[in-house]
A and B are shown apart, each in its own frame.
Chain A
Amino acid sequence: MRVLKAYARSPAALIGSAILLALLVMGLGASWFYPNDPLGLAGRPLQWPGANPRFPLGTDPSGRDIAAQLFHGARISLLIGFVATSIAVVIGIAIGAVAGFYGGAIDTALMRLTEAFQTVPNFLLLLVLVAVFGSTLQTVTIAIGVVSWPPVARLTRAEFLSLRTREFVQACRIQGLGDVHLILREVLPNALPPVIVYASVVMAVAILLESALAFLQLSDPNVPSWGNLIGLGRSVLRTEWYVSAIPGFAILLTILGVSLVGQGLNDALNPRLAGGR
């Protein structure tokens, strides 16, 4: 309750939530607003925004409605962002929790693995995964999750390292509770707040990674993605720059919304850090 109140008081959180809510409505209502296939031919290509009342945001080089692609793209971006973030957070928490809780050789081995993943540039690893497994919506989403977990693992591990020696954990240990219970029921709930805040960063990065991949035309070409549209707009950039400008602005707003919500969560969950500075 206190957290919720603190969250509602933060202007950053309110603006961020409003943006994300609007995107959610766009994404969920996409089929209702624009029931036709957003990748289907809609009219004469390259009509400027406002030139034709049927296409308030204009049409792209293939004559597809940009507004329709924007709405359907919101669904794809949010979906990929949410699923990829969940994958990254689950892998990260699992590895970080085990490494931090047990320490020793297990910790060393798991941290070597984490380091290996962090040493390879994540976008490069993403390219390799796409090259090997192909670029359907599923593989791209999973690949983004797989390259994004190392910071989550490091954060979880640090929390576990400081929590595992606390008295409440020792008390539970003396009661004879098993490791699984200790990790999941005792330590994890206390380690979770910073991880949840960090999940907003992971989500922002995930959406950016997908749009960059789609921009390079290496993501799924059969789904209406904002990055895809920006990439298509490149060929007409010199004259019809709005084709690239509009979806890019949508990505900017989305990342802004996610970051603001993250900031609001951070302020609400760490009240000592807010206000004072």
Chain B
Amino acid sequence: MRVLRLALWRLAASLPTLLLILAGMFLLLQLAPGDTVDALMAQMGGGDAALAEDLRRFYGLDVGIAAQLWNYLMRLATLDLGFSAIYGKPVATVILERLPPTILLMAASLSFAFFFGLVLGVIAARRVNKWPDTLISTLGLIFYATPSFWFGLMAIVLFSVYLQWLPAGGFGDITQSYTGIAAVLDIAQHLVLPTFTLGLIFLAIYLRIMRASMLEVLSLDFVRTARAKGLSETRVVTKHVLRNAMLPMVTLIGLQAGTMLGGSVVVESVFALPGLGRLAYESVVQRDLNTLLGIVFVSALLVITINFLVDILYARLDPRIVSGS
């Protein structure tokens, strides 16, 4: 219960941050040349000034910027993100349609990077300065240096074009209408390459952090005690070291939630996934600033939610956090 209260307190503390982001973004977008009405008029093929005047009044753009900001925040409080002139739908609807692929992709990439980062980091630390360590650390450096979109393209060339093992893009086979298990398998198959592509750099980061923190924890006194008790090395690592060594990695998940979401913009465009990231790219190209603002809002919410979950996880792993405060 105390864990939850602590996490909720942190959640409440992020509200001013969210407000700051929204106000900042809103003011920033005021600097953009042209507004929603201009975009709309351009799409309609132009119109006279009187029509523009009417439309501006309709979209609430005829009042001062401070009043517009206030109205915007008030509407946000009721989760009304405005209307997308490009998609002809409420922004909230557009975003909600695009959210599942992104969340699925992020969850898959995170699991992939976390699991293999952990395993490789442990192996490297156990064989420190021997060849497995050198190999894993070198691989980590190379993975870190690989631009994700380039890795994605090369993976398409190898696995989709030459070997023809996996689909090159999309979120499902549109020529078939699968149901049940078949549909799940179909989506999973489409997510394999994007998951590796997005997860690669995080795998590199996690394995490096895991290796360093394993080495740090292995040198502590309680590990020597555990060894002196006659525990086998495997038991020492799994029962005593792992839990402590994982803490920096868990912290990193929260810190990098935003980076991962940003990375999905690129990965989703490479693999033509209909997700939030691709929507962000499309709204930049189409100058749909209303939708862009909505995406920033939803992304910030997503990052805050992930950090909330990480806080709970962290407190579970390290009881000192709760009892200490």
- The chain B residue sitting closest to A130, CB to CB, is B284
Binding-face segment, B13-21, B53-61, B91-99, B316-324: B13-21
Contact partners of A133 in chain B: CB under 8 A: 31
Interface of A is mostly: helix
- The chain A residue sitting closest to B157, CB to CB, is A241
- Size of A's binding interface in residues, CB under 8 A: 46
B163 at the interface (CB under 8 A from A): no
Interface of B is mostly: helix
Taking a contact as CB atoms closer than 8 A, the residue among A127, A204, A230, A238 that contacts B145 in the complex is A204
Most B Cβ at <10 Å: residue of A118, A124, A127, A259: A124
Contact partners of B156 in chain A: CB under 8 A: 237
Q: How far is the CA of A245 from the CA of B158 in the complex (A)?
A: 12
B259 at the interface (CB under 8 A from A): yes
Contact partners of B304 in chain A: CB under 8 A: 119
- Size of B's binding interface in residues, CB under 8 A: 52
- CB atoms of B281 and A259 under 8 A apart: no
B295 at the interface (CB under 8 A from A): yes
B184 at the interface (CB under 8 A from A): no
* Min distance, Cβ A92 to any Cβ of chain B, angstroms: 15
B244 at the interface (CB under 8 A from A): no
Binding-face segment, B74-82, B114-122, B174-182, B260-268: B260-268
- CB atoms of B141 and A121 under 8 A apart: no
- CB atoms of A127 and B150 under 8 A apart: no
Binding-face segment, B22-30, B190-198, B224-232, B235-243: B22-30
The 8 A CB mask of A201-217 against B (1 = contact, 0 = none) is: 00010001001100110
- CB atoms of A124 and B141 under 8 A apart: no
- CB atoms of A128 and B299 under 8 A apart: no
* Min distance, Cβ B320 to any Cβ of chain A, angstroms: 20
Q: How far is the CA of A233 from the CA of B128 in the complex (A)?
A: 41
Contact partners of B154 in chain A: CB under 8 A: 241, 244-245, 248
B189 at the interface (CB under 8 A from A): no
- CB atoms of B258 and A131 under 8 A apart: no
The 8 A CB mask of A44-88 against B (1 = contact, 0 = none) is: 000000000000000000000000000000000000000000000
Q: Across chains A and B, which 9 residue pairs bring their CB atoms closest together, nearest first?
A: A123-B262, A248-B150, A121-B262, A255-B145, A121-B258, A256-B145, A121-B261, A132-B32, A116-B20
